[in-house]
Structure formats: structure tokens, C-alpha cells
Structure 1
Amino acid sequence: MTSARQISTEQETREQALVDRVLRSFADCESPRLKQLMEGIVRHLHEFLRDVRLTEVEWKEGIDFLTAVGHITDDKRQEFILLSDTLGASMQTVTINNEAYGDATEATVFGPFFVEGAPEVPRGGDISFGATGQPCWVEGTVKDIEGNPLPGTRIEVWEADEAGLYDVQYDDGRTAARAHLFTDDEGRYSFWGVTPTPYPIPHDGPVGKMLGATGRSPMRASHLHFMVSAPACRTLVTHIFVRGDELLESDTVFGVKDSLVQDFVEQPASTPTPDGRVVEGSWARTRFDIVLARA
């Protein structure tokens, strides 16, 4: 750690002069919003550099780290999202852009594993498509803030399998544990998935090294992803989490909110299922009622 030392007035003046010169370089920026963003990042970046008295060696190590994050990123792995997630930047952006609105369901991080074009399943269908794990029945309603049912709402759902892996983390091109469905005329939805389990974010790259160096775990609390969209409503991106999971307080991307923690109730083997499906062994069920804010 750099020892604290008194910075002379002359040195402070020189450093501030550089900040001012960089800020003036954006004077001709035609976009007011872009100018605001660039000036803001310059102010905060220079404030950080001056506050911690960054050394040139540390600057080089930081550049090398960001370079490594870029090199490992591809069409299946977004290391920059992982970096944003583990620094709380993703969750803070979600919080800023999803202000509290009545009883609207809270949003949380999007994550790096959403895939466009997931298959459609009917209400009560099975999204697992062979993914390993304990069968889990998920049901609920989607309503607006006034309590009106929202028929025809599109619900995207995706999750990891029992091994803690998403389908895109396999090399065989499978589609599993993800799908989309629509609510019925009364705003109801239901589907079979698998009971969520804890898993580590990919930690074999630079973000994993950062977590290890700082004494942090890569583990995420057990969760199931939702993206819910209806006309005239704000699209909701959220998860539900498993009550009792010991990782709820230490989720590595800071995504847990108390309102999103749900009971996943295990059903003994031979317990009748809601739709008459025959399940070998135990299964679980949960209910998640969703309230969408107006756009």
C-alpha cells in the first residue's frame, strides 16, 4: 500500500491543470449526453488516480488486466460483463434504471448467459429439454401495477443445470434449461424447470484471478432467470432465489434482493403433480407472482 504523504500545493495545481485540459478537449462534442459522460468519467478517473496515488507499475498491471479481459471475451463468454457484475457496476446500473414504482417486482442483473431465440413452450411445458436436476414446477401470475392481469405477456426463462452449467457452456450446441412462453387470458403462467443450484461464475480467466487475489468467492446463489415483457409496461429482468441458500448474503454479483427470495418446497416422491405428470423421485414447486411497472 502506498504510504500517505502530503502533496504540495504546486503538485496539486499541476495535476488539476491536466484534468482541466482533458475536460476542455471535449468542448466541441456535438452530443450533450456524450459530452456529459466523457467529462464525468474523466473527473472520476483522475480523482481515483490522484486519491490512491497510482504507480506506473500498477497502471501497467491494470492495462494488462483489461487486455486479458478483452482477449478471453468471445461470442459465448463476455468477461467484461463478469467484471462489471463482480464490481457491482451491473447491479448499480440496474438499480438506477429501475426506480421503485409501487409494488412492481424488483429487477436484478441480466447476466452473461441469455440467448436470443430460445424455443417456445406451452403453458405448463418443460423448459429443461434434458438438463439434469430435480424437476421443479414454477407458476404464478403477471399483473400490472393496478392489479390487472396481463394476458399474452412474454416470459423468457433460463437457468443452469444441476452441474452449475448453462447450455452455452457446453461444446455440443445443445439448447437446454431455457425457453419462452406466454401468459394465458388471466395472466397466468406455469412451466417445469429444474430446481436451481449454486454455481461459480466462470473463474478461469482474469476476473477469477481478481476474485482470488482479493479473497472473494466466485459463487452465485441459486437462482432462476426471468425476462418479462408486455405492451405499455417496463420490461423486467430479474431472478428468483432459493430461500435458505447459504450464499444469499455473499452472491458474487450482488444480485440478491429480499423480495426475490422464494420458497422452493420439496415434494416427496409419489406426490401428485399439478398437471398430472409422472415424476420419478422427489420434485419441487415454487410460486412467483410478477407485477410490471408501466413504461
Structure 2
Amino acid sequence: MRNMTETQLTDVVVERYASTPDARLRYLLQTLIVALHDYVREARLTETEWMEAIQFLTRTGQMCDDKRQEMILLSDNLGISALVNLVSAGAPEGATETTVVGPFYVPNSPQREWGETILLRETDEPSLIVRGRVVDCQGAPIPDAGIEVWQTDSNGMYDIQDPTQAVDNLRGHYRTNAKGEFLIRTIRPTSYPIPTDGPVGELLEATARHPWRPAHIHAIVTAPGHRPLVTHLFDAEDAYLDSDVVFAVKESLIRNYAQNSSEEDAARFGVSAPFWELETDFILAAQD
């Protein structure tokens, strides 16, 4: 242990983890140690800088609770979440692409009936009807698939951020019919800034980056025998598509909204005209 070089120290630390029983955990830890040690050597990191990093991560953890996940927010803003998604998704060609889940997912969203709205407040805003099918990669419909959706309200905040919103506002869990079809009623999403009142906000300010995400609807789509799909539906007209603060936009997930002024169509969907329409299919890959 005495008089070790920088590289020898790394070798010794890696060797100390060589007896980790779980092979995958052993590989993950040893690879992480090598990468971190390489970073320290390459950056010539000082003790003061490392202590600042430790304090930053400590504050990040302290910001987390049952409604706020600052660690996920940090992962998103460093592009780690997007990179993990890219290297691990592995969906076959033709399946809907995945993207990050984000820090504002809440499990067990309430079940919504066919075409029921997820907006739990009165509004004069035009409704948005999202409809389509859940199908497999061969185009066959998948009946009774689950579609869980969530989005911000018009003020750019999720219900768990905003005490003025009803619990489960703009969240809901739908199911497809026998033809694999679904019908969701909501409002058109808006672009919004991520929270900047914590360590992630400090990082954005220090690096002169904006905090904005392009307008989108989150969706998790599940069905027996198929891979779960975590994805977004992005608004094609949004100004932040090319500078999403969490690097989650994929070209195939950008959608166009159409305005419908037909009173007949509005009555069919139980909304007022004019309203917005978004037609999209979710294509699920078979479970390995």
C-alpha cells in the first residue's frame, strides 16, 4: 500500500472488489471505480473541488421526498437518463421509441373511462382528444392494453408540484377496447421549465443553460407478452424541441396537432368546438 502511484491505487481498489459475489454488481462497481479514477486523474481534481461536489450531491439528495426527485432531475440534466435509455432500450425496428420517465411520475394513477378527461378543473381552453390504437409490430391490435398518461397543467406545473391543483390532475390510466383503440381527453400540453430552486437549478445557472422542456404528454403503455413502453408525445410546434434541457426528444416521437372546428365531431367526443386532435398509435415490441 505504501508509495503507490496513481494507477496502482486504482488497481488496488478494483482488486478489493474482486470478491463481490454477484458478477453483474462486481462488474458495475469495478467499471465505475476505473471511470471515476480516470476522471480524477485527467481533471487533476483538487480536494476543494471534490468536497464541493460531495456537498452538491448531499444537497441534491436532501431535496428528494415523495413528491420531488432531485436525483432523477440531476441525472436527466446531465444526459445520463437519456444515455441509459439509448443503450438499454433495444426495441426492434418498427416499435415506438422509448424515452426517459422523468422525475414527476406517480404510480397508481386513477383508472379513467373511455374518453374521460384527466383535467380536474373548469377551463375555457380547447380540449385535446388523443386517440389511436395499441398494436404489435405486425400491426395486430392489442386489446385491454394499459395506457398511463400524465402532463403539466397550463401553468407548466405537475399536480405534485402545485398545491392549487387537485390530486391526480392531468393523470390517468386508460385501457384499450377489443380493437386495441383508446380515447383520451385532456388539454394541449405546454412547454415548461423544470424546477430551478434546488441544486440542479444552481448547476443550470452556473453553466448558462435554460431550464425548458418542450411540450409533451408522458405515456407508459403495457400489455401481457409485450415490453413496457415509456415514451413521450412531443408537440411539433414547440420552440424547445432542439434544446430540451433533459435531452429526451426523439424525432419519431414528435407529433402534429390538428384543430377541428366541426360541431358534429365535438359532440361525438363530448367537447366544445373548436378542439385539438392528436392521432397516434403505440407499437409494442414482443417480450423477450
TM range (shorter): over 0.9
Give TM-score scaled by structure 2 length: 0.94
Q: What secondary structure sits across from 2:201 in the alignment?
A: helix
Equivalent residue, structure 2, for 1:4: none
- Preserved contact between residue 127 and residue 192 of structure 1 (Cα < 8 Å): yes
Opposite residue 51 of structure 2, the aligned amino acid is K
Offset at 1:38? 0.5
Any idea what the Cα deviations from partners look like across 1:5-33, whole Å, max 9, x if unmatched?
A: xxxxxx9x710011011001112211111
Query: Quick one: distance in 1 between partners of 2:242 and 2:283?
Result: 25
- Preserved contact between residue 115 and residue 269 of structure 2 (Cα < 8 Å): no
Offset at 1:55? 1.3
Query: Quick one: distance in 1 between partners of 2:122 and 2:109?
Result: 14
Equivalent residue, structure 2, for 1:244: 237
- Preserved contact between residue 124 and residue 275 of structure 1 (Cα < 8 Å): no
The reply on whether 1:47 has 2:38 as its aligned counterpart is yes
- Preserved contact between residue 146 and residue 221 of structure 2 (Cα < 8 Å): yes
The reply on whether 1:32 has 2:16 as its aligned counterpart is no
Query: Quick one: distance in 2 between partners of 1:114 and 1:89?
Result: 18
Offset at 1:282? 3.7
Equivalent residue, structure 1, for 2:83: 92
Opposite residue 201 of structure 1, the aligned amino acid is I
The reply on whether 1:171 has 2:163 as its aligned counterpart is yes
Equivalent residue, structure 2, for 1:193: 186
- Preserved contact between residue 138 and residue 287 of structure 1 (Cα < 8 Å): yes
Equivalent residue, structure 2, for 1:161: 153
Query: Quick one: distance in 2 between partners of 1:134 and 1:30?
Result: 58
Q: Which runs of 5+ in 2 are unaligned?
A: none
The reply on whether 1:263 has 2:256 as its aligned counterpart is yes
Identity %: 40
Query: Quick one: distance in 2 between partners of 1:269 and 1:203?
Result: 42
RMSD: 1.7
2:206 to 197, 207, 213: 213
Any idea what the Cα deviations from partners look like across 1:35-88, whole Å, max 9, x if unmatched?
A: 101101000001111111111111111011001101111111000000000011
Q: Using a 3 Å threshold, how does the CA distance of structure 1 residues 72 and 150 change in structure 2: closer, same or farther?
A: same
Give TM-score scaled by structure 1 length: 0.91
Equivalent residue, structure 1, for 2:109: 118
Opposite residue 212 of structure 2, the aligned amino acid is M
2:69 to 48, 73, 78: 78
Q: Using a 3 Å threshold, how does the CA distance of structure 1 residues 57 and 80 change in structure 2: closer, same or farther?
A: same
Query: Quick one: distance in 1 between partners of 2:284 and 2:219?
Result: 12
Q: Which runs of 5+ in 1 are unaligned?
A: 1-10
1:145 to 137, 141, 153: 137
Equivalent residue, structure 2, for 1:3: none
The reply on whether 1:63 has 2:51 as its aligned counterpart is no
